Amino acid sequence: MALTSDVAPDAGNRLEDLVDTAHRIRRSIESVIEGKADAVRLTLTVLLAEGHLLIEDVPGVGKTMLAKALARSIDCPVRRVQFTPDLLPSDITGVSAYNQQTREFEFKPGPVFANIVVGDEINRASPKTQSALLECMEEHQVTVDGVTYELESPFMVIATQNPIEMEGTYPLPEAQRDRFTAKIAMGYPEPTAELEMLDVHGASQPLGKLEPVATTAEVRALIQAVRAVYVSQAVKRYAVDMVTATRRSPDLRLGASPRATLQLLRGARAHAALAGRDYVIPDDLQELAVPVLAHRLLPSLEAQGQRRQPEQVVADLVRRVPVPDTN
């Protein structure tokens, strides 16, 4: 899938730079994660849309690897938090400790003070701890003992959770899932890709060889460029139509929130920019609808009875909502 395939003729230099940089980051990540182009692209989209990513999958398919590869490729600090039932909020945000030498309380930043934070098995922590992380995600800031610390941009949380029901887990409530821009499943690699993985990474630790291909400053510039992508009134209406359809669908008990609309549109901007386009088209929204919307929805009892997953319902809705014709 060539990212530069449809560069608009009048796109500025910034957009070309963006495509170029994004392409470098993508290749860099793909060199350690085989055959997961879609997941990689979506991760980049979420990064550029200033969102957070929820990866739901079984252990050992490369969730953490993906997060680390991304962090390593853009040369920024990455912190990993293993969520456990006894994890405290301060374990995430940081604590003020008494320094005996200076005789003052000194703030020890927690793991959120990084550009990319990997929250492993987020559903194992208590709701209190989960909410501490979620506050940082929404506000991009941490408040400890009345002092507010800004988080550095870019700031992205990549949380993972196990889909299998396990003892001692606190599944994320709808309200908290709503804060994640997108949810993806890594899925098992293709047999060929897995074979190649054995060949290439069998003996060594691939992450170690990964060299940064972009700086945080460059990524910040990319985010700025994404914000400038044009969204026509028709496309905005289309996004609203799509979200409204989830609220009206008889298969869903809970539709998507206005925050979902916002994040859908932000994601579509990033998606368009990654394709080298300076305007959003309905196709961008269509492609993002399932990963961005599905995890926020609750299926109705009827749909559950028919074993229809929200992903399926959203895909059906996308097929039914007519694309806007004109402005």
Partner 1 sequence: MRLSVVAGLAVGAVTLTLYSLFEGGAWFWACVGTLLVTTGGATLASRFDAPKWAVPPLLLLATAVFLSATFAKEHTWAWVVPTKASALRLGELLAEGFTDIQRYAVPVPAEPGVSMLTASGVGLIAILVDLFAVRLRRAALAGLPLLGLFTVPAAVLTEPVAWPAFVIAAIGYVGLLVADGRERLTQWGRAVLVRRARSVGTDKADSGRLALSGKRIGATAIALAVVLPALLPALSPDPLFGFGVGNGSGKGGNSIGIPDAIAKLSGQLSQQRNLTVLTYTSADDRPRYLRIYALDVFDGKKWTVSPLRGRPEDRVSEGPLPPPPGLGPGIATNRVESRISVSEDIGPLLFLPLPYPAVEVDVDGDWRADQASRMVFSTRDEAAGLNYRVVVNEPRPTRDQLDTMDTPTPDSRFLALPDLDPKIVAMAGRVTAKGATPYQKAVLLQEWFTRTGGFSYSLETKGSGGSALSRFILTARTGYCEQFASAMAVMARVIGIPARVSIGYTGGTKIEKSWAVRTQDAHAWPELYFEGVGWLPFEPTPAGGAGQGTARVPDYSLPRPSEVTPSADPSAGPASDEEDTSSQGPTRRNPRDFERDLGAVPVAVDPGMPVAAKIALGAAGVLLLALVPAAARTLVRRRRHAQIRRGGAAPAIRAAWAELCDTLTDLGEAREPSESPRALARRLTEMYEFDAEAAAAVTAVATAEERMRYAASPPSAGPAAAELSCVRRALMGAVPGKRRMGALLAPRSILLRVRAAGTRVLDGFDRLEGIRWLPLSKGEAGTR
Q: Which residues bind partner 1 (CB under 8 A)?
A: 8, 10, 230, 232, 234-235, 250, 253, 278-283, 286, 300, 302, 318-327
Which residue, 55 or 318, is less far from partner 1 as judged by CB? 318
CA–chain centroid gap for 301, Å, is 29
User: Shortest Cβ distance from residue 230 to partner 1 (Å)?
Assistant: 4
User: Shortest Cβ distance from residue 96 to partner 1 (Å)?
Assistant: 49
Which residue, 137 or 292, is less far from partner 1 as judged by CB? 292
The answer to whether the bond into 77 is cis (omega within 30° of 0) is no
Which residue, 10 or 165, is less far from partner 1 as judged by CB? 10
Question: Judging by DSSP bridges, how do beta strands 104-109 and 298-299 pair with one another?
Answer: unpaired
Between CA 50 and CA 133 the distance in angstroms is 16
Which residue, 40 or 321, is less far from partner 1 as judged by CB? 321
Between CA 278 and CA 22 the distance in angstroms is 15
User: Shortest Cβ distance from residue 239 to partner 1 (Å)?
Assistant: 12
Tokens of 67: 């997060």
Which residue, 118 or 289, is less far from partner 1 as judged by CB? 289
Residue written as token pair 């912190």: 79
Which residue, 141 or 224, is less far from partner 1 as judged by CB? 224
User: Shortest Cβ distance from residue 217 to partner 1 (Å)?
Assistant: 27
User: Shortest Cβ distance from residue 240 to partner 1 (Å)?
Assistant: 15
Burial class (CB in 10 A: 0-12, 13-18, 19+), 216: middle
Query: Helix, strand, or coil here: 97?
Result: strand
Q: How far is CA 77 from CA 70, 113, 156, 318, in A?
A: 11, 9, 11, 38
Task: Answer for the pair 144, 107: CB distance below 8 angstroms, yes or no.
Answer: yes
Query: Helix, strand, or coil here: 58?
Result: coil
User: Shortest Cβ distance from residue 325 to partner 1 (Å)?
Assistant: 7
